Amino acid sequence: MHAPPAPAVSRGGGPRAVCLRYCAATAAVFLLLLALVASRWTPLTDTDRRIAVAFHAFGVRHPGWTRVNRVLSDHVWDPSTMRALLAVCLLVLLWRRAGRQALWLALCGVLGWVLQQAVKAAVGRPRPHWPDPLATAPYAAFPSGHAMTAAISCGALVWVFRLRCPGAGRLPRAAVWSLAAVSVAGVGLTRVYLGVHWPSDVVGGWLLGAAVLTGTAALCQPWRTPAPPP
């Protein structure tokens, strides 16, 4: 009996190589941003402050929009909500005996939280301070935990949807992608609007979240399926 042919390898090296490249790229940009934040690079801090002041002034003048942003930030896109969605998906995957994908989600969530807390403690960046705050938040500012958790959770959920539902139509795919994109971008906007983060905190959260997502994917390879029984 002839052995089955070896799977073709794409010019890019396959999905694992692609994930490693994205992980390296996002991690490199994050480290550069981290260095600029830690050194208090003046052009960055000045840009952060100008944007934050403009958003805060708008929020003070429009309390209705501020209430909407607080609901979105504190409930709809709160890290607890994002992690709960990830946990539900993980349980479903375990029930469907998709252990590799479940392991990936668990590793994403745990490693993301650990890195987020470690970087916050190491950098110790103060949050914006206002005489008339629109909201308050604990811990240090960089990176944004809301932005990072949303990037990891939404990215992982979209990826699992693609893996588990390859035959989904164009409309469901567009809906899932749009919901994820709006959530990731929206939560970053709400954190700056409410004056609890500098814009670079949000960008840092997105970058570190993307690095965790792609790095753990390269490690766990959630696209692989168990070999059929002989």
Per-residue pLDDT of the chain (230 residues; tens, 9 = 90+): 343 343 444 455 799 999 999 999 999 999 999 999 999 999 999 999 999 999 999 999 999 999 999 999 999 999 999 999 999 999 999 999 999 999 999 999 999 999 999 999 999 999 999 999 999 999 999 999 999 999 999 999 999 999 999 888 899 999 999 999 999 999 999 999 999 999 999 999 999 999 999 999 999 999 987 644 44
Identify the pLDDT of residue 6.
Answer: 39
Identify the pLDDT of residue 227.
Answer: 47
Q: How is 159-218 classified by DSSP, letter by letter? A: HHHHHH-TT--HHHHHHHHHHHHHHHHHHHHHHHHTTSS-HHHHHHHHHHHHHHHHHHHH
Chain-centroid distance, C-alpha 23 = 13
**Closest alpha carbon to 218 in 89, 100, 99, 97:** 100
pLDDT per residue over 5-56, tens digit each? Answer: 434 444 557 999 999 999 999 999 999 999 999 999 999 999 999 999 999 9
The answer to whether the CB of 156 falls within 8 A of the CB of 92 is no
- 153 Ramachandran zone, left/alpha/beta (phi>0; psi -120 to 50): alpha
Distance separating alpha carbons of residues 68 and 146, to the nearest angstrom: 16
Identify the pLDDT of residue 76.
Answer: 95
Identify the pLDDT of residue 11.
Answer: 54
The answer to whether the CB of 199 falls within 8 A of the CB of 48 is yes
The answer to whether the CB of 59 falls within 8 A of the CB of 194 is yes
Identify the pLDDT of residue 226.
Answer: 60
Q: Is the pTM of this model over 0.85?
A: yes
Structure tokens at 106: 């668990």
